[in-house]
């Protein structure tokens, strides 16, 4: 079992490296982190906060868009493409278990996203800390950002693999991945903002709305990071971060729940594939 | 009598109202090579997928090495090469084989030997992207030979290969069969597998129409041999009166006869030596035999 998962893991990780996914993701994330950091350092003095803390806040908001996108791009073709090319039939003809295939792919692609995050945010963080100085709060915020970004990436790798196993064809898988990204990352927030503006006082705004926000894995990631940064300049839906009716760790639990859900669903769909 | 590795008994499979397989019975023993012939959509790939355990089983039973398709024993005993396979372009041939060795729990030390056996030793560390179609197919065959399987399932393995590659391909298959591996391979036509397999089975519209050696099939088809006689000027009428047959034109006569009557007819023609210009004998071709089983009988209920 471990040999088989290890074999699939090794091949998938090698492919992610050879196909330049890791390099590309590292480059994009690193670039954005450094640019945001340099902009943030300018305001840092005025807001009485260090550069790393400020950048962690703005980077959390940006990562919500980038990391799910990178994770979905890396994973959406994983099953569908292999089904179309006939390669999955060969894999499944061997004594491997379906869940082992899913687990190996998931572990490798999550790690690929994770490596990109650690390399990019790690280097950018070190650069910002050395250039503008920081304190223990700043370092803690930055490490929290890296760790939760990795979990967020894993959730969306799981989503991508699940959609890929469900679709069975590359074009369908791509379309559903884009659709999922739009719904969870863009439309969900807009819809919630619209509804809370329509009913700005009452039970909905104070009791239902926060739970609806945190139910979305992308928002949960952002809320967790922002809620723990006191000096974060937040606006719009993120204003909720300072008035949460539950502890920030609840957002972590939501991420964990989503992760288990997509893994369970993904493995179920993988078992139904007819290659 | 050795126990067959692959035993297919009375298997029927339907997709909705379409009957993809209809009462197919087939067995392959160790060391035996069986060619499964059929046109596109005859049910060959469906049968393979059923043997691999990818399809929910319909009626009938399939056993591989005595076990259910998809079970561990069956999957370890058998390996598979589909008609079109594209390995990840950015991996090397050696990496592809290492992957399947890992999945099959086979030793990596046999990879070099396998690459050598299919003639890819020199290209082992090149990316699959740079391989020709023949090389990719040979890599696929090497993949199928990992872990010394007892049953090889090859789905149209040589379609699109040039004659030299095809010959090399069948040499490797023959070596595997000589070591006791059972081989089930599918193909479009009889010519391609002539002399390369021990038995032939013909599948048409989901039903098995015939199975046996080529000689047995030819005998069962009992297709008539055609003798075309070209007579010298003015002798054609006399020849036809004596031998029968159809007149094609002023001097040509076509006589059809059963295969075993051919010799007698030729001897009889010898008596008319002075009237003959030319004799051509057309024995039924492999294509005629294949068409006889896959088309003619297919029209019967």
Residues B37 and B143 in one domain: yes
Residues B167 and B247 in one domain: no
In a domain, B127, yes or no: yes
pLDDT of residue B1 exceeding 60, the answer is: no
Look at residues A73, A82, A52, A214 and name the one whose alpha carbon lies nearest to residue A146. A52
Contact (CB, 8 A) for A49 and B49: no
Q: Nearest residue on chain B to A95, judged by CA atoms?
A: B75
- CB nearest B102 (choices: A4, A90, A92): A4
Chain A residues whose CB is inside 8 A of the B83 CB are 86
Which residue's entry shows tokens 């909705």?
A: B16
Chain B residues whose CB is inside 8 A of the A2 CB are none
In a domain, B289, yes or no: no
Chain A residues whose CB is inside 8 A of the B75 CB are 93-95
Chain B residues whose CB is inside 8 A of the A6 CB are 102
A42 to chain B nearest CA, in Å? Answer: 44
Contact A7 B76 (CB under 8 A): no
pLDDT of residue A239: 66
pLDDT per residue as tens, chain A (275 positions): 789 999 999 999 999 999 898 999 999 999 999 998 888 777 655 566 678 888 898 899 999 999 999 999 999 999 999 999 889 999 999 999 999 999 999 999 999 999 999 999 999 999 988 888 888 888 999 999 999 999 999 999 999 999 999 998 999 999 999 999 999 999 998 888 888 778 767 777 777 888 888 899 999 999 899 888 866 555 556 666 667 778 888 899 999 999 999 999 999 999 999 88
B103 to chain A nearest CA, in Å? Answer: 5
Residues B34 and B120 in one domain: yes
Question: E strand or H helix at B82, and its extent?
Answer: none
pLDDT of residue B94: 96
In a domain, B293, yes or no: no
Contact B91 A15 (CB under 8 A): yes
What φ, ψ does residue B280 adopt, rounded to 5°? -115, 135
Compute the distance between CA of residue B53 and CA of residue B32 in angstroms, rounded to an integer. 22
For residue B119, what are the domain limits?
A: 6-219
- CB nearest A274 (choices: B55, B75, B95): B55
Question: E strand or H helix at A5, and its extent?
Answer: helix A2-18
Residues B170 and B43 in one domain: yes
pLDDT of residue B24 exceeding 60, the answer is: yes
Compute the distance between CA of residue B238 and CA of residue B219 in angstroms, rounded to an integer. 33
pLDDT of residue B253 exceeding 90, the answer is: no
pLDDT digits (tens, 9 = 90+) for B234-247: 888 888 888 888 88
Total domains, chain B: 2
pLDDT of residue A118: 96
The DSSP letter of residue B38 is: -
Classify the complex by whether its ipTM is higher than 0.85, answering yes or no.
yes
Chain B residues whose CB is inside 8 A of the A80 CB are none
Chain A residues whose CB is inside 8 A of the B49 CB are 274
Compute the distance between CA of residue B282 and CA of residue B274 in angstroms, rounded to an integer. 22
For residue A69, what are the domain limits?
A: 2-272
Residues B210 and B236 in one domain: no
- Residue B249, both tokens: 């034109």
- CB nearest A15 (choices: B81, B90, B102): B90
Q: Name the CA radius of gyration of chain A, rounded.
A: 20
Compute the distance between CA of residue B3 and CA of residue B30 in angstroms, rounded to an integer. 8
Which residue's entry shows tokens 């940064």?
A: A229
Which residues of B fall below an 8 Å CB-CB distance to A? 49, 52, 54-55, 72, 75-76, 78-88, 90-91, 95, 98-100, 102-105, 140, 143
A261 to chain B nearest CA, in Å? Answer: 26
Residues B147 and B252 in one domain: no
Contact (CB, 8 A) for B291 and B258: no
pLDDT of residue B297: 46
Least confident among A203-212, B164-173, B216-225, B289-298: B289-298
Look at residues A210, A212, A211, A106 and name the one whose alpha carbon lies nearest to residue A153. A106
In a domain, B297, yes or no: no
Compute the distance between CA of residue B80 and CA of residue B52 in angstroms, rounded to an integer. 8
Average pLDDT over every residue of B221-231: 85
Contact (CB, 8 A) for A108 and B88: no
Total domains, chain A: 1
Selected residue of A6, A17, A78, A90 to mutate for chain B interface (largest B Cβ count, 10 A): A90
pLDDT of residue B298: 43
In sign, the C-alpha dihedral spanning B114, B117, B118, B124 is: positive
B72 to chain A nearest CA, in Å? Answer: 6
Residues B202 and B231 in one domain: no
In a domain, B294, yes or no: no
HSE (side-chain half, CA atoms, 13 Å) at B18? 7
Residues B264 and B209 in one domain: no
Q: Between these two residues, B145 and B249, which has the higher pLDDT value?
A: B145
**Which of B66-71's residues contact partners 24+ apart within 8 Å by CB, and which partners?**
B66/B3
A187 at B interface, C-beta within 8 A: no
Question: E strand or H helix at A19, and its extent?
Answer: none
CA B213: distance to chain centroid? 11
Residues B116 and B204 in one domain: yes
pLDDT of residue A39: 83
- Residue A133, both tokens: 């100085």
Compute the distance between CA of residue A113 and CA of residue A75 in angstroms, rounded to an integer. 10
pLDDT of residue A242: 66
pLDDT digits (tens, 9 = 90+) for B56-93: 878 899 999 999 998 999 999 999 998 888 899 999 99
Residues B100 and B236 in one domain: no
Compute the distance between CA of residue B261 and CA of residue B279 in angstroms, rounded to an integer. 16
HSE (side-chain half, CA atoms, 13 Å) at B201? 23
Contact A15 B72 (CB under 8 A): no
Residues B128 and B235 in one domain: no
In a domain, B199, yes or no: yes
Question: E strand or H helix at B78, and its extent?
Answer: strand B78-81
Dihedral over alpha carbons B58, B60, B64, B65 (to 10 degrees): 150
Chain A residues whose CB is inside 8 A of the B140 CB are 90
HSE (side-chain half, CA atoms, 13 Å) at A94? 28
Give the CATH number of the domain where residue B267 resides. 3.30.70
pLDDT of residue B296 exceeding 60, the answer is: no
Residues B233 and B197 in one domain: no
Give the CATH number of the domain where residue B62 resides. 3.40.50.300
Compute the distance between CA of residue A195 and CA of residue B85 in angstroms, rounded to an integer. 51
Compute the distance between CA of residue B101 and CA of residue B122 in angstroms, rounded to an integer. 20
A19 at B interface, C-beta within 8 A: yes
Contact B87 A87 (CB under 8 A): yes
């Amino acid at each position: 079992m471990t040999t088989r998962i290890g074999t699939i893991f090794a091949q998938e990780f090698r492919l992610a490296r050879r196909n330049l996914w890791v390099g590309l993701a590292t480059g994009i994330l690193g670039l954005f982190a450094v640019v945001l950091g340099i902009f943030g350092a300018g305001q840092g003095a005025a807001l009485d906060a260090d550069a790393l803390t400020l950048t962690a806040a703005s980077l959390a908001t940006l990562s919500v868009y980038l990391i799910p996108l990178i994770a979905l791009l890396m994973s959406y073709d994983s099953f569908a493409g292999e089904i179309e090319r006939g390669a999955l039939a060969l894999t499944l003809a061997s004594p491997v278990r379906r869940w082992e295939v899913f687990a190996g792919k998931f572990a490798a692609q999550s790690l690929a996203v994770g490596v990109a995050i650690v390399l990019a945010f790690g280097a950018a963080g070190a650069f910002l800390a050395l250039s503008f100085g920081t304190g223990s709060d700043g370092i803690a915020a930055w490490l929290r950002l890296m760790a939760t970004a990795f979990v967020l990436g894993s959730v969306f790798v799981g989503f991508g693999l699940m959609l890929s196993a469900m679709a069975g064809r590359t074009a369908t898988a791509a379309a559903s991945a884009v659709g999922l990204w739009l719904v969870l990352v863009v439309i969900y927030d807009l819809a919630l903002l619209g509804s809370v503006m329509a009913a700005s006082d009452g039970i909905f705004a104070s009791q239902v709305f926060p739970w609806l926000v945190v139910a979305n894995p992308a928002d949960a990631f952002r809320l967790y990071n922002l809620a723990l940064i006191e000096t974060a300049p937040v606006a719009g839906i993120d204003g909720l971060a300072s008035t949460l009716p539950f502890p920030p760790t609840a957002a972590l639990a939501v991420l964990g729940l989503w992760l288990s859900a997509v893994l369970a669903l993904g493995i179920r769909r993988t078992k139904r594939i007819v290659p | 009598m050795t126990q067959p590795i692959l035993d297919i008994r009375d298997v029927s499979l339907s997709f909705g109202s379409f009957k993809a397989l209809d009462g197919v019975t087939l067995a392959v023993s160790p060391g035996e090579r069986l060619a499964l012939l059929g046109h596109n959509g005859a049910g060959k790939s469906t049968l393979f997928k059923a043997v691999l355990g990818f399809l929910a089983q319909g009626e009938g039973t399939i056993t591989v090495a005595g076990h259910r398709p998809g079970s561990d024993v069956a999957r370890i005993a058998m390996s598979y090469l589909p008609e079109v396979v594209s390995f990840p372009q950015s991996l090397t041939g050696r990496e592809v084989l290492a992957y399947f060795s890992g999945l099959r729990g086979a030793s990596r030390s046999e990879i070099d030997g396998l690459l050598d056996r299919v003639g890819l030793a020199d290209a082992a560390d090149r990316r699959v992207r740079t391989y020709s179609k023949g090389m990719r197919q040979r890599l696929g065959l090497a993949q199928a030979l990992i872990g010394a399987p007892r049953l090889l399932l090859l789905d149209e393995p040589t379609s699109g290969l040039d004659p030299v590659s095809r010959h090399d391909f069948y040499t490797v298959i023959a070596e595997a069969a000589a070591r006791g591996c059972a081989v089930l391979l599918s193909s479009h036509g009889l010519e391609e597998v002539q002399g390369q397999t021990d038995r032939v089975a013909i599948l048409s519209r989901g039903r098995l129409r015939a199975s046996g050696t080529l000689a047995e099939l030819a005998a069962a088809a009992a297709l008539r041999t055609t003798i075309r006689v070209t007579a010298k000027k003015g002798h054609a009428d006399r020849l036809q009166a004596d031998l029968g047959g159809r007149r094609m034109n002023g001097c040509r006569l076509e006589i059809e006869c059963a295969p075993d009557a051919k010799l007698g007819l030729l001897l009889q023609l010898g008596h008319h030596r002075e009237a003959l210009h030319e004799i051509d004998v057309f024995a039924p071709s492999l294509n005629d035999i294949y068409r006889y089983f896959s088309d003619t009988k297919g029209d019967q209920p």
